[in-house]
Structure 1
Amino acid sequence: MKIKSVLKPKHVAWAIGAVVGAILLNLVVHSGAKASVQPPSSPLVEVATVEQKDVPVYGEWIGTLAGQVNADVKAQVTGYLLTRKYKEGSYVKKGQLLFEIDPRPFQAALDQAKGQLAQARAQLIQNQAQLATAKANQLKSQLDVEKYGPLAKVDAVSKQDFDNATQTDLANQAQVQAAEAAIVSAKAQIQANQAAVETASINLGFTRVISPIDGIAGIAQAQVGDLVSTSSGSLTTVSTLDPIRDYFTVSEQDYLALQKRLSNSDKDRWKLQLILADGTTYPKEGDFYFADRQVNQNTGAIQLAALFPNPGNILRPGQYGKVHAMVRKQQNATLIPQAAVNEQQGSYLVAVVDKDNRVSMRPVQVGERTGTMWVIRGGLKAGEHVVVEGQQNLKPGMTVRTKPFKSDVE
């Protein structure tokens, strides 16, 4: 049995046209997709213009804080430490009691010295009375000699009586001299005893260890019950901290540059900033204080000192304190933002964009930093453009799109 087609010729033509149309439409769509693919665009970078102007040049030096006056408190006598009378790390005043050494042996020595002084004074009084008696006796015997002398010449008295009077007078003179010598000795003994009393009194006073200055007292280096002496080291240290010193070391070249500024009547205006260990800047400016007497021949550096106000004694000796200050003014310095400089194995490179927006990598010689800018000693000219943001993946000869760089720091 034969199957007859149900499609008429016109229906077959319509189906074939639909299939051909679908194929053509698919080709058009795919060809249009390929035509819409664009080449990659040029990277966008931020550029800054190379400037040239006068700028201050700053220096930074590592420093260490120290008290303006640091007084080591030591024992002046040997004895056992009885008490500590201050709070470690607290503010103390001049004359305030810090430690007490057992005073009993020194009180006993003082009492003994006072007793010996009283004995010497009593002996002096006794010697003075003896001298008065001796002088009275010598005066009487002298009168006898004067009376018997003329009588002996005319045989009015015996020669024996005259000789006895003469011998008595000589004995009395000797007693006067002995009494006078005893008085001199007693006075010397009194002076010695007075010195002993004063020494004993001073030693007794030394059992009270006091602060020699106003300041902050440190940790006690001796504890109650310890035997302390003049050779046992410091009991503690008291430091005056307002103002506080900052010792820092500069190179000989920086020192010479600073001396030029100071010699131009800038000494009173050379202000210093203190950068603390956490990177913050201390809110109060300091002043230059002094320079050491010599340059260290081994390092070629010299130590300077600055004074910073320290109300409340917040800063303490031994703290890290980096000093930041203007060294000089550089005329017509070439400047670019620090972010534009890339360091590679000890050399410095910047990406320069020419008038056709093409990139070239150029080595430069860098100088000092000032704020967010970097002084360039060679390799760039004023008016050129350098890439500050977007240096990543830049290659020499690459074309870029640019926009001006705007710093966050005013």
Structure 2
Amino acid sequence: MKLKIKTVVFLLCTVCWMSSCQKEEVATQAPPPPEVNIYMTKAEEVPIYQTYVGQVYGAKDIAIRARVEGFLKGVHFQEGSIVTEGTLLYTIDQQPFEAQVAAQRGLVAEANTRLTKAKNDLNRYRPLAAKNAVSKSDLDAAEAQYEAAQGALDAANANLRAVEIQKGYTKIYSPISGIIGKTKAKVGDFVGRDANTIILNTVSNTDHILVEFFLSETQYLIVARRFLSETGAEKQNPEKKSREIELILADDSIYKHKGKLTFIDRMVDPMTGAILVQASFPNPEGLLRPGQFAKVKIQIDTAEEGILLPQRAVTELQGMNRVFVVDEKNTVQERKVELGPKVDNLWLIREGVKPGERIIFEGLQKVADGVVVKPVETKFKRIKQGQ
């Protein structure tokens, strides 16, 4: 019996000893290297863009004003609608002008009567003067009376045309085809007074729209050099078109029609150090309206052998930008990089990374300089601005 108990105790001790040895062996085994996603770098031609905030204007924004004083009698359009050139927009009370026209017509008739009398007197004096029946001075006086009556009639007709023109201004027509806005005056308002020169409305032609924005002096030099060089190249080679520019709308979508720079102001404002630049864009669908704000995206340079990295592959520590590179032994190397501008959801790397290197862009919290990792090459999705 004692022998059996000793045997059981011995077996239990042996099992416990073997178990503890296995635990020590497991504890001493190294953990597997962490798995990280890597991005393989490559050299490519990278266009570099700059965006500028601008405001949209119509190709023509024509203010509608009353050219004569009077009470507004009629509004003949629907606000916010499309009007064609020559459409009647407003009418002003014509009665005062009709009275002026009638009075001036009376003066014309009076001048015409005086001219007829002077002409008849002259026709009577001429044969009598030929026979010396009247003096030469009487003939001269008759001719002077005729010429004065002719001049008075011409003046009366000119005054009649002037008051008829004033009467015509009581009907206000659209000078261009375009979109008309909300009226600033209602029926019954007194308009056209010098002290209250109210703008009745504005008509905008939006077949094309203009976007105006400002550049600093440094930015102007960059854009102007490219603009002038491309314009010169286009003149030498008509088939080579100048580079088109893009418009980014308020919702960050990219406007589907491309535009061109059309105007650079003559001088830099010495107060602000900025210069006005204008770009033109087609607007066939009428999507864009005057007053909108948008960003103009212009290519200012090209990196011939640029390297792009996902933005999340770059981390900042104490003002230093860094990436983690995986070498041929799968060892992580921390490396300082110099960043260029952002390109979509990527960084343009100016210095610190070469083509063909493996850069960690996911799993950065698992790594440090000198750590061995298990790299997994993963395709990175580039998301272009406006998508």
Please give the range of the TM-score, normalised by the shorter of the 2 chains.
0.7 to 0.9
One of 171, 194, 218 as aligned partner of 2:181:
218
What percentage of residue pairs aligned between the two structures are identical? 32
TM-aligned CA distance change 1:98 to 1:123, over 3 Å: same
1:284 match: secondary structure: coil
* Partner of residue 56 from structure 2, selected from 40, 44, 65: 65
Unaligned runs of 5+ in 2: none
| Equivalent-residue separation in structure 1 for 2:272 and 2:318 (angstroms) | 26
Match for residue 154 of structure 2 among 185, 191, 204: 191
> Partner of 1:396 in structure 2?
369
Coordinate RMSD, CA, aligned: 2.9
1:203 to 166, 173, 178: 166
SS class of match (1:321)? strand
- Distance in structure 2 (CA, Å) of the matches to 1:303 and 1:396: 50
Amino acid in structure 1 at the alignment position of 2:226: A
Question: 3-state SS of the aligned residue for 2:232?
Answer: helix
Residue 268 and residue 297 in structure 1: after superposition, are their counterparts in 2 closer, same or farther (change >3 A)? farther
Larger-gyration structure (1/2)? 1
CA deviation map 1:61-111 (0-9, x unaligned)? 222211111111111111111121112221111111111111111111111
- With normalisation by structure 1, the TM-score equals 0.80
CA contact (8 A) 1:258 1:328 kept: no
Q: How far apart are the structure 1 equivalents of 2:97 and 2:268?
A: 50
Offset, 1:29:
5.7
Which residue of 57, 66, 73 maps to 1:82?
Answer: 73
Q: Distance in 2 between matches of 1:125 and 1:357?
A: 115
> Which structure has greater helix proportion?
1
Task: Give the secondary structure class of the aligned counterpart of 2:312.
Answer: helix
Residue number in structure 2 paired with 1:271: 244
Indicate if the aligned counterparts of 2:55 and 2:213 stay in contact, CA closer than 8 A: yes
Separation of aligned partners in 2, 1:132 and 1:89 = 65
Q: CA deviation at 1:406?
A: 0.8
- Aligned twin of 2:329: 356
- State how far apart, in whole Å, the 2-side matches of 1:376 and 1:55 are: 11
Q: Secondary structure at the match of 1:200?
A: helix
- Separation in structure 2 between the aligned mates of residue 18 and residue 305 of structure 1, nearest angstrom: 98
- Size of the aligned set, in residue pairs, is 372
Partner residue, 1:158: none
- Change in CA separation of 1:81 and 1:343 when aligned onto 2, cut-off 3 Å: farther
In structure 2, the CA distance between the partners of 1:346 and 1:261, relative to structure 1 (3 Å rule), is: farther
Tell me, in whole angstroms, the C-alpha distance in 2 between the residues paired with 1:220 and 1:254: 40
Specify which of 288, 291, 306 is matched with residue 261 of structure 2: 288
Find the counterpart in structure 2 of residue 262 from structure 1.
Answer: 231
1:110 equivalenced with 2:83 (yes/no)? no
How far 1:46 sits from its partner (Å)? 1.4
- For the 8 Å contact 1:95–1:210, the answer to whether it is kept is yes
AA aligned opposite 1:342: T
Q: Pick one of 205, 209, 212 that aligns with 1:244.
A: 209
TM-score (norm 2): 0.85
Cα distance change on mapping 1:382 and 1:299 into 2, 3 Å: farther
Counterpart-to-counterpart distance in 2, 1:90 and 1:34? 86
* TM superposition shift of 1:305: 2.2
* Correspondence for 1:126: 117
Note the C-alpha offset of 1:20. Answer: 7.4
Q: Which amino acid aligns with 1:84?
A: V
Match of 1:316 among 289, 301, 315: 289
How many Å separate the matches in 1 of 2:318 and 2:70? 65
Structure 1 unmatched ranges of 5 or more: 1-9, 144-168
Q: Which moved more, 1:361-370 or 1:238-247?
A: 361-370
In structure 2, relative to structure 1, the CA distance for the partners of 1:102 and 1:347 (3 Å cut) is farther
Which whole-Å deviations, capped at 9, do the CAs of 1:285-334 have from their partners, x for residues lacking one? 22332322234455555433222111132101121221224333322233
SS at match of 1:312: coil
